[in-house]
Structure 1
Amino acid sequence: MTSPAADDAYLRLRDLIYSGHLMPNERLVEADLAQRLEVSRAIVRTALVRLGQDGVVILTPHRGARVRVVTDAEAVEILQARAVLEALTASEAAKRATAKEIAGIRRILAGMSRRLDEGDLLGYSEGNAALHAAIIQAARHETAARLITGLRAQLVRFQFRTILVPGRAPHSLAEHTAIVSAIAARDPAAAEKAMREHLGHVSDALSHTNRRFPGETHG
């Protein structure tokens, strides 16, 4: 059983990786992390072991730890797995979302539309992440939320790539609109189908970028 300090360090270090502050293949130096997190090196070591068990960090004897790199092919597989889980959350959100939550989801979608009109693809992508997060929260399915968080974190370096595919952005907005409309209509089957189709198209778009840039190094 780990201590509260070790648990806190694990969560904070995981968040640094999930948010992209620690990049794929970046070397994780215990002394530097201990200073950054204001904990002992022993606590950092414990956190790194746990992250290694999670598959987020690679631990190599005598060489230390690095943030694990997700390959392009694995990224497509992760999106396929996310499609199943997020389809479930969309269905559950259609059943469980409050009127206030639905209004909030609609506001996020409206903001995404404005960003697209302005040509702000970075802002649109940030709205995209916020919309998915709001749907997951409205679903109140803790297990799915936890699994999705882990999967999404592994795609940090891919998060802006698909929206840059020519012609992808308008299709993305239409797909999100269909998801939100189904949730607002309290139609779980339609919400599930719309989310599955959306992430299927994201997966296709990512595969397209892989073909355009074979062997490309990211992160």
Structure 2
Amino acid sequence: MTSAAERGPERPVAVVDALRAAISEGEFAPNQRLVEADLSEQFGASRAAVRAALLELTSEGLVERMQNRGARVRAISLDEAVEITEVRMVLEGLLAAKAATRLSDDDRTRLRGIGAAMEHAVSAGDLLGYSERNRELHALVREAGEQRTAGRILERLRGQNVRHQFRLAMHPGRPSVSLPQHLAIIDALCAGDPDRAEEAMRAHLRSVVETLPEVGSAPTRVVEPQRW
């Protein structure tokens, strides 16, 4: 483990970012206790910096404070996961429309490469690879949309919803359903058609909303996300 001295001067923002990433990437399970002393050692940070990070992440909805019991990773219910996805539908539709008119040639090349990699992952049965390309596609749309407010909100929502997103990606048959939806998004973006890009993104996330209840009632898979 890297020591605090090896990591360099402590910055409170860096502690928040590191802990946020660890929660968002599934390193901590829902309802898992977050012990300040353990986190201080893990991240090479002072107890004060960890405490400040936990307070910040509580305001973001990633952590919840328990009376006389410290902090834990906040678990997201199925109903809340559906609500989050409905909000994503609006915001990511907006970003897709904006991105369609702002993409560079390099962006279009990246998009087509992501689409090809998604097709290969589905044909190879590579669910983790498909999940990573999915994340990459949505991140590219957020970046290219150049709408910082929507982008910040979506980053928070993604962190809150990471477990439901992963279970959806691992749901049998789901990649075959979502692949043509993602390819439609890519096609509209590369064509520079904002209306079609927005509708394709909304249609995809509408499908997610419809599928989440089915995924929520299924047994939890053994595989868990390590890095998104």
Picking from 102, 106, 109, the partner of 2:112 is 106
Task: Count residues in correspondence.
Answer: 214
Alignment partners' CA distance in 1, 2:190 and 2:61: 37
- Percent sequence identity over matched residues? 43
* Native 8 Å contact 2:167 2:221 kept in 1: no
Q: CA RMSD in A?
A: 1.9
Q: Match for residue 6 of structure 2?
A: none
Determine if the alignment matches structure 1 residue 178 to structure 2 residue 153. Answer: no
Partner SS, residue 58 of structure 1: strand
Q: CA deviation at 1:166?
A: 4.5
Q: Match for residue 200 of structure 1?
A: 206
Gaps of 5+ in 2: 1-9
Matches within 5 A, 1:42-121: 42-121=48-127
TM-score (norm 2): 0.88
Partner SS, residue 159 of structure 1: helix
Determine if the alignment matches structure 1 residue 123 to structure 2 residue 129. Answer: yes
Alignment partners' CA distance in 1, 2:119 and 2:93: 22
Picking from 156, 165, 172, the partner of 1:159 is 165
Matches within 5 A, 1:4-19: 5-19=11-25
Change (3 A) 1:20 1:33: same
The amino acid of 1:203's aligned partner reads V
The amino acid of 1:80's aligned partner reads E
Change (3 A) 1:217 1:50: farther
Gaps of 5+ in 1: none
* Native 8 Å contact 1:165 1:205 kept in 2: no
Alignment partners' CA distance in 1, 2:64 and 2:167: 25
Alignment partners' CA distance in 1, 2:169 and 2:64: 29
* Native 8 Å contact 1:176 1:198 kept in 2: yes
The amino acid of 1:57's aligned partner reads V
Change (3 A) 1:166 1:39: closer
Query: 1:84-116 CA distances to partner (integer Å, 9 max, x unpaired)?
Result: 111111111101111101110110110010010
Q: CA deviation at 1:217?
A: 11
Alignment partners' CA distance in 2, 1:167 and 1:16: 28
Q: CA deviation at 1:168?
A: 2.9
Query: 1:141-193 CA distances to partner (integer Å, 9 max, x unpaired)?
Result: 11111111111111221223224444432221110111111111110000000
The amino acid of 2:75's aligned partner reads V
Change (3 A) 1:129 1:17: same
* Native 8 Å contact 1:30 1:44 kept in 2: yes
Partner SS, residue 36 of structure 1: helix
Q: CA deviation at 1:72?
A: 1.1
Of stretches 23-32 and 166-175 in structure 1, the one that deviates more from structure 2 is 166-175
